[in-house]
Amino acid sequence: MSDDIDIDIDDLQRRMEGALSSLRTEFASLRTGRASGSMLEPIQVEAYGQMTPINQVGTVNVPEPRMVTINVWDKGMVGKVEKAIRESGLGINPQLNGTIIMLPIPELNEERRRELAKVAAGYAEHARVAIRNIRRDGMDQLKKAKAAGMSEDENKIWSDEVQELTDRYIGHVDKALEAKQEEIMQV
C-alpha cells in the first residue's frame, strides 16, 4: 500500500540549497573593508529605458584589495552609474576618471564592523527560518503520507532523513555566518 507514497527529499534538498545560495549572495553584498565586485550586484542603473545591473553597462574589476573599478562602455552612462552607486547606500564615494569609475573602499571602524556582523547574523537567521519552513513542508508531506497508509517505521525513517537534512543545512548556515563574521571583524 505504501509503495506509491514517496517523499521528495531531492526537492527539499534543492530548496534548502537555494536558501543557502541566497544567504551567500546576501553575504557577498556586505562590505567588509575588502574590495569585491559582488558588492555591486544589487545596484541597478537606468539604462536605455530599463533598470539594468551595473555589470551589464560596464566591466567591474578589482585591481587592488581596497579598490573596485567600473569601466563603463557607454560614455553617456557614466553619470547614471555614478548616481546609482551614490544612492545605493553602500557608503562609497565614486571617483571619475573618464569612463572609469573608481570606488575606493574605506577602512571600517569598530562600530561599523559590529553593525555589519549583526546584519550578517540577521541574514543567517532568515536563512535558518527558510530552511525550517522547508523542513515543515517535508513533515507535512509525511503526515499526509502516513494518513494515506505509510507504516510507522517508514514514517520514522523518512522523518529522521528530513531532520538530518535540516540539521546539515543549518550547520552550513552557521559555518557561513562564522566565516563572514570573522571576515568582517578582521582588521
Q: What is the pLDDT of residues 68-96, one digit of tens each?
A: 899 999 888 888 988 888 887 677 788 88
Q: What is the CATH number of domain 9-28+109-185?
A: 1.10.132.20
User: 43: burial class by Cβ within 10 Å (0-12, 13-18, 19+)?
Assistant: middle
pTM for the full predicted model: 0.67
Choose which CATH entry (3.40.50.300, 3.30.565.10, 3.30.1360.40, 3.30.70.270) describes domain 34-104. Answer: 3.30.1360.40
Q: What is the pLDDT of residues 104-149, one digit of tens each?
A: 887 778 887 888 888 889 999 999 999 999 999 999 999 998 898 8
pLDDT at 97 over 80: yes
Q: What is the pLDDT of residues 19-42, one digit of tens each?
A: 999 998 888 777 666 677 777 877
Cβ count within 10 A of residue 134? 22
pLDDT given for residue 6 in this prediction: 64
Domain boundaries, the chain: 9-28+109-185, 34-104
User: What average pLDDT does the segment 91-103 reach?
Assistant: 86
pLDDT given for residue 108 in this prediction: 75
Pairing of strands 50-53, 95-97: unpaired
